Amino acid sequence: MKRIGILCAGADSPGLNASIRAIARKAFDENMDVLGIRDGFMGLMEDAVIPMTKNHVSGILPLGGSILGVSRVNPFEVEGAQIKIKDNIKKHQITSLVVLGTLDALISTIKLNEQFDIPSVFIPASIDNDIKETDFSIGFDSAISSVMHSLDTLHATASAHHRVMVVEVMGFKTGWLAALGGLVGGADFILINENPHTFEDLMKNINKRYEEGKKFSIIVVSEHYKMHELDSINKDLKEKLGEKYKNFKFSIGHLLEYLISEKGYATRLTSLGYTQRGGNPTAFDRYLATKLGIKAVNLIKEGKVNHMVGFKGGEIKCTPYSPEIMEPRYVPEDLQRDIELFF
């Protein structure tokens, strides 16, 4: 009998529970055993494994977060972790893992298969949307919807007070969340590393809008955006603010707020932070999570493990593990050009 172990690794994203539900229900329908592994790879290291029943997945479809918990623990950064994982998989007679997670989790999953012959199917679940061979990762639609709603509300107060609103969003190494969240939310300027701009470019845009009678601006910036001229400003700002802020880590949002205000504009920073990962999943994320979960179990049933399932070109597809899918997927040039039409 096939026995599936489900775990969520990396960071949480809306829709994880919907996918856990689909995996479990499909597996039960195929007379497979299902084990829940708590807190990602850490749970597999620490033997935090529980048998699952239909009761465990009842009523969880609309819930954010993960009923199994999530952790960023990398099994290749903890001494002896891989051996513990292999021993616990053998102990619980797990025939295949289903890993839901981020790009880092995908890399760990592939390495576990390559080095320790641990069979698995990977489901991309990340608000960063930076995993290759899928157009959407679970949680991304919910996250860009969160950014969109935040920008909708900020437009009213920005217009009323004639302010420049700097909105810092997540995204890790790629700019997907800022790009699409800013696009559908009507941002007036978007800063992502795939399409770098100088501070001078930004100020030209703000000045132009004011000259046209648009007395406010919404600026969306990805959390790890690199603007080279800010390095020295970061140092100068800390010196100006004194000893209290000597070790304070100013984000790109803080620095832009400071710089723009120095140009004479009333400026405010809104860092959306973890609100982008929280909340209930959208209809699309619930659908995507369900379809990917069912597909993962079908692959295990067919003996076609060591694949990632994804949503590409409007269809559910599977991709064999390879070094190529371990690299980040960046915002393409054609989308960058579309975004700049609205600057």
Catalytic residue positions, numbered: 128
Say which DSSP state 280 is in: P
Cα–Cα distance for residue pair 134/181, rounded to 1 Å: 18
Residue 202 in contact with residue 220, Cβ under 8 Å?
Answer: no
Neighbours of 90 (CB within 10 A): 9
Cα–Cα distance for residue pair 219/269, rounded to 1 Å: 10
Cα–Cα distance for residue pair 184/223, rounded to 1 Å: 18
Q: What is the 3-state secondary structure (H, E, C) of 20-54?
A: HHHHHHHHHHCCCEEEEECCHHHHHHCCCEEECCH
Cα–Cα distance for residue pair 24/27, rounded to 1 Å: 5
Q: Where are the alpha helices (DSSP H) in the chain?
A: 16-29, 40-45, 81-91, 103-116, 140-161, 176-184, 199-211, 230-241, 252-262, 283-301, 333-340
Residue 141 in contact with residue 118, Cβ under 8 Å?
Answer: no
Cα–Cα distance for residue pair 230/235, rounded to 1 Å: 9
Closest CA to 263 of 166, 153, 154: 166
Cα–Cα distance for residue pair 58/56, rounded to 1 Å: 6
- For the record, the structure tokens of 130 come out as 């930076």
Rg (CA), the chain: 22
